[in-house]
Amino acid sequence: MVEPNYIEETFGLLGKRALVTGGATGIGAAIAIALARAGADVAITTHASPGEDTAAAITAAGRQVRSLNADLASLDAAGAHVLVENLEAEFGALDILVNNAGIIRRADAAEHPQADWEAVMATNLDAIWYLSQAAGRQMCARGTGRIVMIASLLSYQGGIRVPGYTAAKHAVAGLTKALANEWAGKGVCVNAIAPGYIATANTKALREDPERSRQLLERIPAGRFGDPEDIAGAAVFLASPASSYMNGHILSVDGGWMAR
């Protein structure tokens, strides 16, 4: 028999405050809304998209929302510190950080432009490090917190025509483990989700290429591309008390890709 409050106490996030980067669309929006439905107040960073639909869904879940216009590609350590400090002053202490924002640039490795490499590294690695450091510093001082990285299947594999993205996602996996090693004993759980091929803007070109799409679907045991909502449950789990003894883990949510 399940105790009446077991689900709420173990998987619920009532009273928690979260920051989800890149929360306007795609995986970030799905995670932000799921966290709110689990009880958390949620702040999102936006840039190219205003995130109005995400904010409305969070409000509809009965939770508070903040939208922060931030260009993470230009974020440095000082800027991340100010972002976290200002958010906590207005919103309250952060319990959860989800480092979701990311971009992808496709070009043959021999011709890969320097500007594309630098843009991917700035958004997909540097901003994650700076925000994790700024939020983690506060979480460690309080003795509690959750940091969820969004890694990738390309944290394990090389991919094709995405050297910058692959390098950054390998680094995100390593950073997840490095921070977990230092912060697990301070009550801060750092883990990552490695999504498979999800129907977002980042995979649009692949899904619209009939040959490449066929090749990918043949490799995915589930036989379909994932939806952003397929990632949301894993994020709620890693943000919740249920995952309190998980540290430095990279959780693949990939339709079985890595099992094939």
Q: Which residues are catalytic?
A: 165
Of 172, 177, 178, residue with least CA distance to 151: 172
What would the two tokens of residue 81 be? 């510190």
How far lies 176's CA from each of 63, 108, 172, 194, 211, in Å?
29, 28, 6, 12, 34
What would the two tokens of residue 145 be? 């917190």
What would the two tokens of residue 206 be? 């692949």
* 26-58 as b/e: b if 16+ CB within 10 A: bbbbbbbbbbbbbbbbbbbbbbebebeebbebb
Q: Cα Rg for the chain, rounded, in angstroms?
A: 18
